[in-house]
Amino acid sequence: MTTIPNITIFDTTLRDGEQAPGASLQPEQKIQLAAKLVELGVDVIEPGFPISSPGEFAAVEAISRQFQQVEICGFARAVQGDIDAAVRATRDAERRRIHLFLSSSDIHLQHQLRISRKEAVAKARQMTAYAKQYCERVEFTAMDAARTGIDDLIEMVEAAIEEGATIINLPDTVGYALPGEYGEMFRRVREGVRGGNNVQYSAHCHNDLGLAVANSLAAIQNGATQIEVTVNGIGERTGNCALEELVMALTTRQESIGFSTGIVKEKLYEVSRLVSGAMHFPMAYNKPIVGRNAFQHESGIHQDGLLKDRSTYEIMNPESLGIPRNMIILGKHSGRHALKDRIARYGLQINEEELELLYIEFKETADRLKVVSDDLLLQMVSRTMGITAQNYELGEVQVLAGSAQNRVAAITLRHLHENRESSHTSTGDGPLEAVIAAISQGIDAEITFVDLELHSLSAGEEAHAEAAVTVECQGTIYRGTAVHQDIVMAAGLAYVAACNSALTVFPKA
């Protein structure tokens, strides 16, 4: 058996990713995320830009000390002060590299740095040599490489290699390149540079034209063996090459591309969620791999195919990415087959006659609400079959919000199986927290609240806010969703729906 070579995954979520507007992190948050990146199996972490602030320096220093199993990269402009700071911040790392960058394109040299090409090449030479005194592994980035004339690029890269650069990064800093051009640049530099066989080539792509992943793959097909990525593709402007997209392209199409990675795919979803939360960066519903809709199928034809064999409409297995449940969204395009399958997942058997009745009501509801949540479906099933499929129903909700210190919530919960009602009050820093805490008191099962997502929906008169709540029960994750004009109600209903979902599968003993 031949082993498939690995691409080096260089993660810059904590440096380039953090340059996304509003995404900044506290040093402690960087350390927590670095721990997750190590678990995810990235090869190199670039934790920040040490010269830029004392907090950045401290974060890079702490990460260098704590995570000895991964290579730590200190980022620096090609100036002595930056390199000194990068060297000091990474001093205690078990394995480290210094990453220095200098513009190589005419546009940058003329309009930004205002130096001649000769001066730029001399600087590349001088600063690479300077960094090399302190650190064996030096990565040299020719900034804006994709817009640099090939001969000019070769001249600068050659100078850096002569002075000991071990990794050559050729970024598409402004997201301008097309895959064919970007791949061609790697091929020509590799073939044209003296000593070019002794270094590793690296790509760093931005997504301004939506081509960051495609360009990174083109680089790999032309000899690059390191790709600089960020989780969720976060970064300057439209961001960088998305780690999860690149990894899954390499995995799904391994037979065509011929490379693998050391990434633990089961952790992709979890790390995506953590980065999204910590950086206040919500994911688009249609974001590849980790977006809410990435594995949801609404068309009845697709749903029917999936239920017969998943490979009919799915190229990846969501469970292997750590995505909780392969949920088919039930909507107006769903057929009887999908409906029956969903009900069966809750351990309920429905006969043909009941299914017909349910199907009519389901279609009417789906036309009106677009999407039918499991909770709503279980309500319909209860009516049609004359059973009580759910444990709980949210009754009255009262919340006192405002500028006073605490928010107070009072709720009633109907325990449908026991035919009784209970009342609960609680406080919280916000109205949502107060309502969730009050409902928790009434749920008599071991269910842990994990996460709440809120979205405002602009479409539909009745649909104002959608809440999705994730809970954990006996080691399994369940989600409940609800739509309501009032966000507090939406969150409360979604929480109860998630609990019902967990308890329908695992009824209370």
Q: Which residue's entry shows tokens 């809709």?
A: 293
Beta strands in 144-199 (DSSP E): 167-169
- Total residues at the site for Mn ion (CB under 5 A)? 1
Q: Which residues pair with 100 in a beta bridge?
A: 76, 140
Of the two residues 16 and 152, which places its CB atom closer to Mn ion in the complex?
A: 16
Give the contact letters, 415-454, x = binds to Mn ion (CB under 5 A), - = no: ----------------------------------------
Beta carbon of residue 81, minimum distance to Mn ion (angstroms, whole number): 21
Q: Which tokens belong to 97?
A: 């590299």
Beta carbon of residue 446, minimum distance to Mn ion (angstroms, whole number): 45
Residue 455 Cα to chain centre, angstroms? 17
Of the two residues 16 and 453, which places its CB atom closer to Mn ion in the complex?
A: 16
Beta carbon of residue 19, minimum distance to Mn ion (angstroms, whole number): 7
Beta carbon of residue 341, minimum distance to Mn ion (angstroms, whole number): 45
Of the two residues 16 and 139, which places its CB atom closer to Mn ion in the complex?
A: 16
Beta carbon of residue 251, minimum distance to Mn ion (angstroms, whole number): 24
Q: Which tokens belong to 191?
A: 């073939």
Of the two residues 230 and 379, which places its CB atom closer to Mn ion in the complex?
A: 230
Rounded-to-5 percentages of helix, strand, coil across the chain: 45, 20, 35
Three-state DSSP class for residue 190: helix
Among residues 265, 497, 489, 493, which one has the least CA distance to residue 377?
497
Alpha helices in 222-335 (DSSP H): 243-252, 254-257, 268-278, 300-308
**What whole-number distance in Å separates Cα of residue 459 and Cα of residue 468?**
17
The residues in 7-66 that bind Mn ion, with binding defined as CB under 5 A, are 16
- Give yes or no for residue 139 binding Mn ion (CB under 5 A): no
Among residues 188, 124, 135, which one has the least CA distance to residue 161?
124
Of the two residues 64 and 207, which places its CB atom closer to Mn ion in the complex?
A: 207
CB-closest chain residue to Mn ion: 16
Q: Tell me 6's DSSP state.
A: B
Three-state DSSP class for residue 302: helix
SS3 per-residue string spanning 291-345: CCCCCCCCCHHHHHHHHHCHHHCCCCCHHHHCCCCCCCCEECCCCHHHHHHHHHH
**What whole-number distance in Å separates Cα of residue 168 and Cα of residue 155?**
13
Beta carbon of residue 16, minimum distance to Mn ion (angstroms, whole number): 4
Of the two residues 16 and 466, which places its CB atom closer to Mn ion in the complex?
A: 16
Beta carbon of residue 53, minimum distance to Mn ion (angstroms, whole number): 18
Beta carbon of residue 501, minimum distance to Mn ion (angstroms, whole number): 42
Of the two residues 229 and 339, which places its CB atom closer to Mn ion in the complex?
A: 229
Of the two residues 235 and 331, which places its CB atom closer to Mn ion in the complex?
A: 235
Give the contact letters, 461-490, x = binds to Mn ion (CB under 5 A), - = no: ------------------------------
Of the two residues 34 and 229, which places its CB atom closer to Mn ion in the complex?
A: 229
Of the two residues 16 and 144, which places its CB atom closer to Mn ion in the complex?
A: 16
Three-state DSSP class for residue 51: helix
Of the two residues 16 and 298, which places its CB atom closer to Mn ion in the complex?
A: 16
Torsion-angle region of 284 (φ positive above 0: left; ψ -120 to 50: alpha; else: beta): beta
Beta carbon of residue 229, minimum distance to Mn ion (angstroms, whole number): 11
Residue 134 Cα to chain centre, angstroms? 35
The residues in 76-135 that bind Mn ion, with binding defined as CB under 5 A, are none
Among residues 153, 144, 219, which one has the least CA distance to residue 192?
153
**What whole-number distance in Å separates Cα of residue 358 and Cα of residue 306?**
22
Which positions ≥6 away from 423 have C-beta within 8 Å? 410, 411, 412, 413
Three-state DSSP class for residue 87: helix
Beta carbon of residue 236, minimum distance to Mn ion (angstroms, whole number): 6
Beta carbon of residue 212, minimum distance to Mn ion (angstroms, whole number): 10
Sheet holding 392-400, edge to edge: 392-400, 407-415, 420-428
The residues in 179-218 that bind Mn ion, with binding defined as CB under 5 A, are none
Residues binding Mn ion (CB under 5 A): 16
